[in-house]
């Protein structure tokens, strides 16, 4: 092998390792949903129980679909309000499955929110204890330069390793008839996940999950004397000494059809379309990248579906009687 071909192999090896490291660092943050305004409890546990219903959500994000092993996230959640000793609370559960390259992340959590009413406004404080599980499929990793180069470098993981750690999120949330806002800290314990091939394995690789901070706000503004409403929203996120921001604006017609646009800072522009079907909502978002990665992919796709199971407000209506008078 010539020196020139050796240089190329080393360059490819360095690029491969750089991608692995970059993906590992990126995996420390939460999913960047374009439908952030539909997945408020994903980022903020204090938003659980905001709807007067059992609120069910299923979301899927397929990012940079042209890439092999491109990032993919599936999110499932359910939450509802309830009363305990005259206190208003919100209860929720969430599960997330994420695949990024050779990494697989699974997050499961339970949410509890305490709610205080001020007229038609509500202030909530929430917590989400849970677990963060990660797997790295080292046996599928391919490093140019031959097997010998992998065996001689202890920094390269060549076996399948996994681990689980306790994780927790906290947040505050304020809602009113026409607007809402919240602040949350995810991975507040900054857990370190010990990745091992087995329980008895002596070789341990640690994956550090950094805290992330989220500030979110949005609203629903009716246009007077029309069937139109404007629904703006935005989110600012800070994690791992980096920050990002995104904003969206949708127009809803006759409480049925939603169309809008969004922008994620130096990352993508988004087009939204959604339909309300009685107690269900189906939304689709297409992200077109505006960064340098646009040369290699046509974009990302995201689908969100929500469904509300109405609750029986017997306590609220227990003193009311139906009238038998016909109008």
**How confident is the model at residue 55, as a pLDDT?**
97
222 in any annotated domain:
yes
The reported pTM is 0.83
163 in any annotated domain:
yes
318 in any annotated domain:
no
Question: Per-residue pLDDT for 2 more than 50?
Answer: no
182 in any annotated domain:
yes
Query: How does residue 155 score in pLDDT terms, banded at 50, 70 and 90?
Result: low
- What does DSSP say about strands 160-176 and 268-277: parallel, antiparallel, or unpaired? unpaired
Determine the average pLDDT of the residues in 183-207: 88
315 in any annotated domain:
no
**Mean pLDDT of the residues in the chain:** 84
Query: How does residue 154 score in pLDDT terms, banded at 50, 70 and 90?
Result: low
Whole-angstrom distance, CA of residue 167 vs CA of residue 190: 8
- The three state secondary structure string of the chain is CCHHHHHHHHHHHHHHHHHHHHHHHHCCCCCCCCCHHHCHHHHCHHHCCCCCEEEEEEEEEECCCCCCCCCEEEEEEEEEEEEECCEEEEEEEEEEEEEECCEEEEEEEEEEEEEEEECCEEEEEEEEEEEEEEEEEHHHCCCCCCHHHHHCCCCCCCCEEEEEEEEEEEEEEEEECCEEEEEEEECCCCCEEEEECCCCCCCCEEEECCCEEEEEEEECEECCCCCEEEEEEEEEEEECCEEEEEEEEEEEECCCEEEEEEEECCCEEEEEEEEEECCEEEEEEEEEECCHHHHCCCCEEEEEEEEEEECCCHHHHCCCCCCCCCC
**How confident is the model at residue 327, as a pLDDT?**
36
**How confident is the model at residue 144, as a pLDDT?**
57
Question: Per-residue pLDDT for 62 more than 80?
Answer: yes
Question: Per-residue pLDDT for 9 more than 60?
Answer: no
CATH assignment at residue 233:
2.40.160
Count the residues in the chain.
327
Higher pLDDT, 142 or 125: 125
Whole-angstrom distance, CA of residue 103 vs CA of residue 165: 16
Whole-angstrom distance, CA of residue 42 vs CA of residue 6: 47
326 in any annotated domain:
no
Nearest to 71 by CA among 89, 98, 39: 98
**How confident is the model at residue 17, as a pLDDT?**
38
**How confident is the model at residue 96, as a pLDDT?**
97
Question: Per-residue pLDDT for 68 more than 80?
Answer: no
**How confident is the model at residue 293, as a pLDDT?**
76
Question: Per-residue pLDDT for 153 more than 60?
Answer: no
Determine the average pLDDT of the residues in 311-319: 56
314 in any annotated domain:
no
User: What does the block give as tokens for 14?
Assistant: 């360095």
133 in any annotated domain:
yes
**How confident is the model at residue 101, as a pLDDT?**
84
**How confident is the model at residue 324, as a pLDDT?**
37
Q: Which residues span the domain enclosing 135?
A: 3-308
Report pLDDT digits (tens) over 227-272: 999 999 999 999 888 999 999 999 999 999 999 999 999 999 999 9
**How confident is the model at residue 8, as a pLDDT?**
42
Are 113 and 48 in contact, with CB atoms under 8 Å apart? Answer: yes
Determine the average pLDDT of the residues in 204-225: 92
Question: Per-residue pLDDT for 214 more than 80?
Answer: yes
Question: Per-residue pLDDT for 137 more than 60?
Answer: yes
Determine the average pLDDT of the residues in 16-39: 64
Report pLDDT digits (tens) over 124-135: 999 999 999 999
Q: What's the total number of domains in the chain?
A: 1
Question: Per-residue pLDDT for 10 more than 50?
Answer: no
Higher pLDDT, 293 or 176: 176
Report pLDDT digits (tens) over 286-312: 999 998 777 777 889 999 999 999 987
């Amino acid at each position: 092998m010539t020196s020139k071909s050796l240089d190329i192999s080393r360059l490819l090896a360095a690029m491969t390792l750089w991608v692995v490291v970059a993906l590992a660092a990126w995996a420390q943050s939460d999913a960047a949903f374009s439908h952030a305004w539909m997945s408020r409890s994903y980022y903020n546990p204090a938003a659980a129980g905001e709807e007067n219903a059992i609120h069910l959500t299923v979301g899927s994000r397929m990012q940079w679909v042209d890439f092999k092993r491109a990032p993919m996230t599936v999110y499932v959640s359910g939450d509802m309000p309830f009363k305990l000793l005259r206190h208003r609370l919100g209860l929720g559960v969430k599960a997330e499955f994420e695949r990024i390259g050779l990494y697989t992340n699974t997050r499961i959590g339970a949410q509890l929110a305490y709610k205080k009413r001020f007229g038609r406004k509500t202030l909530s404080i929430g917590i989400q204890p849970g677990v963060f599980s990660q797997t790295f499929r080292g046996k599928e990793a391919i490093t140019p330069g031959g097997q010998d180069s992998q065996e001689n470098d202890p920094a390269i993981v060549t076996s399948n390793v996994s681990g689980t750690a306790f994780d927790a999120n906290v947040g505050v949330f304020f809602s009113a008839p026409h607007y809402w806002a919240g602040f949350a800290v995810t991975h507040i314990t900054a857990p370190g996940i010990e990745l091992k091939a087995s329980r008895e394995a002596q070789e341990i690789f640690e994956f550090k999950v950094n805290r992330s901070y989220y500030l979110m706000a949005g609203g629903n503004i009716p246009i007077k004397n029309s069937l139109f409403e404007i629904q703006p929203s935005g989110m600012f996120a800070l994690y791992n000494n980096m920050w990002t921001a995104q904003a969206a604006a949708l127009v809803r017609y006759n409480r049925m059809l939603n169309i809008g646009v969004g922008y994620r800072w130096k990352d993508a522009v988004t087009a939204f379309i959604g339909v309300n079907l009685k107690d269900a909502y189906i939304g689709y978002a297409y992200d077109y990248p505006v960064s340098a990665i646009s040369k290699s992919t046509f974009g990302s796709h995201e689908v969100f579906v929500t469904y509300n199971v109405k609750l029986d407000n017997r306590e609220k209506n227990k003193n009311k009687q139906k009238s038998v008078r016909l109008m």
